Amino acid sequence: MKKSIDPGTYACPTPVWCVGTYDDNNKANIMTIAWGGICCSVPPHLTVSVRKVTHTYAALLKRKCYTVSIPSVKYLNEADYFGIASGKDSDKFAISGLTATRSDIVDAPYVEEFPLIFECEVKHTVDIGGHVQFIGEIKGIKADDNVLNDNGLPAIEKVNPFVYATTSKEYWSLQEAVGKGFSSGRACIK
């Protein structure tokens, strides 16, 4: 027998992604979100949701593109800071000491020090309620050499991302591979 809980954003795990945009003054801004995910394989798309009051929202509407920089655990403090401050009154790159690099694929900056970057063009915008969801096509990806696997693709244990736990407001690291997709489940087929 299960207990009922009032509706809330308690689904887990959620990612920690840093959304890069340029504002009206061409200042690079960066904002951390946990409300996002991949939403399509072909062509590859990912979503980010932000509130209308954010500096990032205005930039997304105008520039119609953004980057997602994925932080390693090493950059947890900086990623959390990017979710605390507002680009309206802070230069978050300058204060954190991290580097804004202009994407050569989309009109948006990314965090040079973070290991894995997605360069996206907004294709759909959905006004849901307190948040607006931006659905972006992934037009380019950049990664540090040292996070790639033998096939030249990013390896999760090398990227070392972390997740956000909404109910405890904690960030959690990943531990180990515990199963194989499209394989472990064959044990269920008699």
Which residue in the block uniquely carries the two structure tokens 């990943």? 174
CB of 63 to a copy of itself, least distance (A): 19
Could you give phi then psi for residue 185, rounded to 5 degrees?
A: -70, -15
Q: Using CB under 8 A, which of 18, 65, 85, 106 touches a copy of itself?
A: 85
Does 121 bind a copy of itself (CB under 8 A)? Our answer is: no
Give the strand pairing for 45-51 and 65-70: unpaired
Cβ-count burial of 52 within 10 angstroms (0-12 exposed, 13-18 middle, 19+ buried)?
exposed
Q: Using CB under 8 A, which of 30, 59, 106, 135 touches a copy of itself?
A: 135
CB of 75 to a copy of itself, least distance (A): 10
Does 89 bind a copy of itself (CB under 8 A)? Our answer is: no
Q: Which stretch binds a copy of itself (CB under 8 A): 22-30, 53-61, 149-157?
A: 149-157
Does 86 bind a copy of itself (CB under 8 A)? Our answer is: no
Say how far apart CA 102 and CA 88 lie, in whole Å.
Answer: 20
When the beta carbons of 26 and 167 are compared against a copy of itself, the nearer one is 167
Does 80 bind a copy of itself (CB under 8 A)? Our answer is: yes
Say how far apart CA 31 and CA 10 lie, in whole Å.
Answer: 21
CB of 65 to a copy of itself, least distance (A): 14
Residues 6+ apart with CB under 8 A from 148: 154, 155, 158
Q: What is the largest CA-CA distance in the chain?
A: 62
Helix (H) or strand (E) holding 107: none
Per CB under 8 A, which of residues 6..35 are in contact with a copy of itself?
6-15, 17, 34-35
CB of 18 to a copy of itself, least distance (A): 11
Q: Using CB under 8 A, which of 52, 62, 88, 95 touches a copy of itself?
A: 95
48, 136 contact by CB (below 8 A): yes
DSSP 182: T
Does 96 bind a copy of itself (CB under 8 A)? Our answer is: yes
